[in-house]
């Protein structure tokens, strides 16, 4: 849907929104104050999607397995058309999360809202994701085991 | 282009109700049934839009009559994900906006003797389901006979007559106007032409 090569910024924010914890996303959206009216172009719906992978990232694609996915499309109607459509695709079954992710995607394309959403929603979510990633990395680092191979001098 | 119009407000129940209406329409040919009304894109009637949302999905192939606006295919693609084809013969469903300029019935898929169900189903939009020449129907789902007056081109009933003689091959059709739908399955035969022949003889 979003060509990551054509629009890398949008692909990045959609990923951030989809991976964010729902509670934090709700909290950040509340700091924005009253949101514009929007309608659901495609109400949240849960389904399955096939996840495909490539061995070592370069091999032929194979089907890894199916995962549960919830998607939603919202539309913000402006005074001058075209209306802005925001897409949300999130893992799991949370309809609310898909709707909020779609809403944020639409707001980020809206001239009057983009800056505010970047500062008050996207930035905290990215910071939280980085903190969590750093914590996980630190935890993994503490239990790291290094294997050494000793030269046996048989030759 | 991305469509600007939503689909069913309550996808599960709206599509179930519409499916029931479409089923009743074929079970009782010639009787009007009421579908759920959907806010349709320009070029579709509310009942045709509801029928399309109910019947079409990722695996169905649809032929749109040339002349239907781009908004129709955008809307169908977004809400159903159906595939479009240029060949009416290969389509699972054919969407006809103007009966006057539609291809003849023989242009659509009639199925094969082994798989008569692999035929095209027609969704025909009409401005109204009344006011045409009166036609008397007979067949399964009709106790004795039933009269309808679909406003269709003059040669249509002769084509239909020719098609029903090839049973089990043929097409099934829904006639849609406003929020009404009328079914005409391939099992429904005509009386009009025979009566006229007798009268002229």
**What residue ranges do the domains of chain A occupy?**
24-50+63-117
Cβ neighbours of A81 in B, within 8 Å: 4
ipTM: 0.75
Q: How far is CA A57 from CA A6, A63, B163, in A?
A: 21, 13, 56
Number of other residues whose CB lies within 10 A of the CB of residue A83? 16
Among A43, A77, A83, the residue to mutate for chain B (most B Cβ within 10 A): A43
CA–CA separation, B177 and B68 (whole Å): 16
Would you give per-residue pLDDT tens digits along chain B (201 residues)? Answer: 788 888 898 889 999 999 999 999 999 999 999 999 898 999 999 999 999 999 999 999 999 999 999 999 999 999 999 999 999 999 999 999 999 999 999 999 999 999 999 999 999 999 999 988 999 999 999 999 999 999 999 899 999 999 999 999 999 999 999 999 999 999 999 985 444 555 554
Q: Which of residues 53-112 of B touch A (CB under 8 A)?
A: 78-79
According to CATH, what is the number of the domain B11-200? 3.40.50.11310
* Residue B111, helix vs strand vs coil: coil
Task: For residue B3, give the chain A residue with the closest CA.
Answer: A41
In degrees, to the nearest 5, what angle opens at C-alpha A149 toward C-alphas A145 and A155?
Answer: 175
The pTM for the full model equals: 0.83
User: DSSP letters of B66-90?
Assistant: BTB-HHHHHHHHHHH--EEES-GGG
Please report where in the chains the tokens 């006809």 appear, as a residue.
Answer: B96
Query: A41 vs B6: CB contact, 8 Å cut-off?
Result: yes
Task: For residue A44, give the chain B residue with the closest CA.
Answer: B11
Query: A41 vs B11: CB contact, 8 Å cut-off?
Result: no
In degrees, to the nearest 5, what angle opens at C-alpha B165 toward C-alphas B159 and B171?
Answer: 60
Would you give per-residue pLDDT tens digits along chain A (155 residues)? Answer: 456 667 888 999 999 999 999 999 999 999 988 888 898 999 999 999 999 999 888 889 999 999 999 999 999 987 666 788 999 999 999 999 999 999 999 999 988 889 999 999 999 999 999 999 999 999 999 988 888 777 777 66
* Bond preceding residue B168 cis, omega within 30 of 0: yes
B176 in Cβ contact with B45 (< 8 Å): yes
Cβ neighbours of A42 in B, within 8 Å: 6-7, 78-79
Q: Mark B64-75 as b/e (b = at least 16 C-beta within 10 Å).
A: bbeebeebbbbb
Read off the tokens for A12. 């990045």
Q: Which of residues 56-85 of A touch B (CB under 8 A)?
A: 75, 81-83, 85
- Phi and psi at residue B125, in whole multiples of 5°? -95, 135
């Amino acid at each position: 849907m979003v060509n990551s090569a054509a629009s890398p910024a949008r692909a990045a924010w959609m990923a951030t929104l989809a991976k964010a914890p729902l509670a934090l996303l709700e909290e950040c959206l509340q700091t924005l104050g009253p949101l514009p009216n929007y309608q659901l172009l495609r109400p949240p719906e849960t389904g399955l999607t096939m996840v495909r992978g490539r061995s070592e990232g370069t091999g032929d694609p194979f089907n890894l397995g199916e995962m549960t996915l919830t998607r939603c499309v919202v539309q913000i109607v402006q005074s001058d058309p075209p209306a802005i459509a925001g897409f949300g695709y999130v893992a799991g079954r949370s309809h609310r999360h898909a709707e909020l992710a779609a809403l944020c995607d639409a707001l980020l394309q809206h001239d009057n809202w983009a800056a505010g959403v970047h500062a008050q929603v996207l930035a905290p979510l990215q910071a939280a994701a980085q903190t969590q990633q750093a914590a996980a990395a630190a935890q993994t680092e503490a239990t790291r085991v290094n294997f050494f191979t000793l030269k046996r001098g048989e030759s | 282009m991305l469509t600007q119009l939503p689909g069913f407000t309550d996808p599960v129940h709206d599509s179930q109700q519409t499916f029931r209406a479409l089923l009743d329409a074929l079970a009782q040919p010639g009787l009007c049934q009421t579908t759920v009304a959907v806010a349709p894109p320009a070029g579709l009637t509310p009942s045709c839009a509801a029928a399309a949302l109910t019947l079409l999905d990722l695996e169905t192939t649809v032929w749109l009559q040339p002349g239907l606006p781009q908004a129709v295919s955008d809307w169908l693609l977004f809400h159903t994900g159906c595939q479009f084809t240029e060949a009416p013969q290969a389509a699972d469903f054919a969407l006809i906006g103007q009966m006057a300029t539609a291809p003849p019935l023989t242009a659509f898929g009639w199925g094969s003797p082994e798989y008569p169900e692999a035929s095209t189903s027609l969704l025909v939009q009409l401005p109204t389901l009344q006011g045409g020449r009166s036609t008397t129907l007979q067949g399964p789902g009709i106790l004795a006979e039933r009269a309808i007056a679909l406003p269709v081109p003059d040669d249509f009933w002769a084509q239909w007559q020719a098609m029903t003689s090839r049973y089990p091959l043929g097409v099934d059709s829904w006639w849609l106007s406003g929020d009404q739908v009328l079914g005409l399955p391939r099992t429904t035969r005509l009386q009009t032409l025979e009566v006229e022949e007798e009268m002229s003889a």
